[in-house]
Structure 1
Amino acid sequence: MRILVLSDLHANLTALEAATAEEFDRLICLGDLVGYGPSQNEVIRFIRERAFVALRGNHDNALALDVECRCSPANKALAEATLAYHRTLLSSEDLDWLRALPGSVEFKLDGYRFAAFHATPRDPLYGYEITPELPDDQLREEIEGVKADFILLGHTHLPMVRGIGSRVIVNPGSVGQPRDGNPECSYAIIEDGVVELRRAKYDLFRTMEALRKLPLSNDLIDQLISTLEQGGPQ
């Protein structure tokens, strides 16, 4: 079975289309469908129709429940402005769907046990602690008590595959807003128990043109475009 793992789509339909050009049998989405990008309705519709598992990220949570997303201070103005705009465009049905999404879930696929979280096991919505640089002893503490073969995490926008004992921790990175210095969309493939992090180029110009049509200030749009072009804020 070929499992496609996506996270942090952030309303970037063009990037999502590039990532899902991969052949796959099951699609796992770790959350943050909305915020920052121009195509929230289309991204939600795609995931609703095709995902085997979908989680609620902190941006989805903020939009659906009208609470703070608790993102980094550097991105707060961008998040608040785009989420406020997205909220005016989503149907009540889509809002209800976002509210009903779990923040974490356990499931079995292809004979393996999976535990999926938007952020971390200790803080499924907001935790930023698990990064590629986290020492093994601290990573072991962060995943203590999680009984799974694969632990799937998103939220940081930083792709990662780490092994702790018999467990494999996978962060596919961000489809819609990479922040590791590489602007190509990031995702993971799990097949026959083997994880591969992958990147795909997408039509960035198309996303940029859609962003320029949003009713936001020029400064905010320039920041959003710069982040996409550079693979993260500079």
Structure 2
Amino acid sequence: MRILIVSDIHGNRAALDVIRETYDVCLCLGDIVDYGPEPGACVDWVRENATHCVRGNHDHGVAHNVALQGVSGFRYLTAVTRPLSVSLLTDDQRRYLADLPMSQMLNLDGNRFLLVHATPRDPMDEYALADTATWEPLLAGLKVDFVLVGHTHQLYSLQVNGIMVVNPGSVGLNRNGDPRATYAVIDNGKVELKQVEYPVEKTVAALDGFVNDAVAKQMLTDIYRGNGLVGRWAAEKVASVANDSNPE
């Protein structure tokens, strides 16, 4: 069995469209929307192609129109783009996001899988990087072969006490300075971590019809082009760019 795993699409349909893997099962680990300019098209893709999908924190926020305020980098970006994503989705698309489960247990190809967006302990919000010591308590007591997670936008696989943890990274918003889309494939039990180039400038161009806020647009442009390390967009940076973009 060949299993395609995607996560953190974040409204970037151009990145999603370059994934042309053949697969028997497609698993989506959430955060289909927020940030990117084509949330509706991404929701439709997941509905048509994903065999199973769990809800991410951004899916939850958009589905329930959770307001967010803040000046730190990605919090600011979410505060600007979330209402835009909400406005672009139909009621049916938002209901789909709201109805997604927060976790899912599956039996596939003789293996037991747990799907969550973040961690088994906190399915939507906790960050867990590729560190054995971090994951050991999170996996305690689980009787599974694979735990599939997203949320961190970091591509990795990690064997911890007989359980394989797989994070496919982010299809649509790679934040580590590499503009490529990332995803994972499990082919007959073997994990393959994938990175693929996509037409970044197509997504950048789509921002013109999506977001008017100059700071948010520059943040997204930097991230899509591979310059968007979190440190570039600390609160001080956001404030500085905001002042430059809105002279009195």
Instruction: Calculate the TM-score normalised by the size of structure 2.
Output: 0.88
- Structure 1: which 4+ aligned runs deviate by more than 6 Å? 69-72
Aligned to 1:49: 48
Aligned to 1:131: 129
Aligned to 1:198: 194
> What residue identity is the alignment partner of 1:159?
L
Contact kept in structure 2, 1:178 and 1:231, CA below 8 Å: no
**TM-superposed deviation, 1:181:** 2.3
**TM-superposed deviation, 1:82:** 1.1
**TM-superposed deviation, 1:224:** 0.5
Distance 2:9 2:38 in 1: 10
Aligned to 1:225: 221
Q: How does 1:124-203 map to 2 (within 5 A)?
A: 124-128=123-127, 130-132=128-130, 134=131, 136-203=132-199
Aligned to 1:93: 92
Distance 1:81 1:164 in 2: 38
Secondary structure at the aligned position of 1:85 is classed as helix
Contact kept in structure 1, 2:70 and 2:79, CA below 8 Å: no
Secondary structure at the aligned position of 1:59 is classed as helix
Q: After alignment, is 214-223 or 70-79 more displaced?
A: 70-79
Distance 1:64 1:147 in 2: 32
Do structure 1's residue 83 and structure 2's residue 82 form an aligned pair? yes
| TM-aligned CA distance change 1:76 to 1:137, over 3 Å | closer
Secondary structure at the aligned position of 1:131 is classed as coil
Distance 2:59 2:194 in 1: 25
Distance 2:161 2:77 in 1: 39
Identity of aligned residues (%): 36
Question: Which blocks of at least 5 consecutive residues in structure 1 are unaligned?
Answer: none
**TM-superposed deviation, 1:138:** 2.9
Aligned to 1:211: 207
**TM-superposed deviation, 1:101:** 0.2
Q: How many residues align?
A: 230
Secondary structure at the aligned position of 2:125 is classed as coil
| TM-aligned CA distance change 1:118 to 1:68, over 3 Å | farther
Distance 2:70 2:119 in 1: 14
Secondary structure at the aligned position of 1:3 is classed as strand
**CA RMSD across the alignment:** 1.7
**TM-superposed deviation, 1:172:** 0.4
Contact kept in structure 1, 2:152 and 2:169, CA below 8 Å: yes
- Can you list the C-alpha shifts for 1:132-161, whole angstroms capped at 9, x where unaligned? 2x2x23311121122211100000000110
> What residue identity is the alignment partner of 1:4?
L
Aligned to 1:116: 115
| TM-aligned CA distance change 1:71 to 1:51, over 3 Å | farther
**TM-superposed deviation, 1:228:** 1.2
> What residue identity is the alignment partner of 1:90?
L
Secondary structure at the aligned position of 1:28 is classed as strand
Aligned to 1:16: 16
| TM-aligned CA distance change 1:154 to 1:82, over 3 Å | same
Secondary structure at the aligned position of 1:230 is classed as coil
Contact kept in structure 2, 1:121 and 1:146, CA below 8 Å: no
> What residue identity is the alignment partner of 2:80?
A
Contact kept in structure 2, 1:70 and 1:126, CA below 8 Å: no
Instruction: Calculate the TM-score normalised by the size of structure 1.
Output: 0.94
> What residue identity is the alignment partner of 1:18?
V
| TM-aligned CA distance change 1:231 to 1:29, over 3 Å | farther
Distance 1:36 1:152 in 2: 23
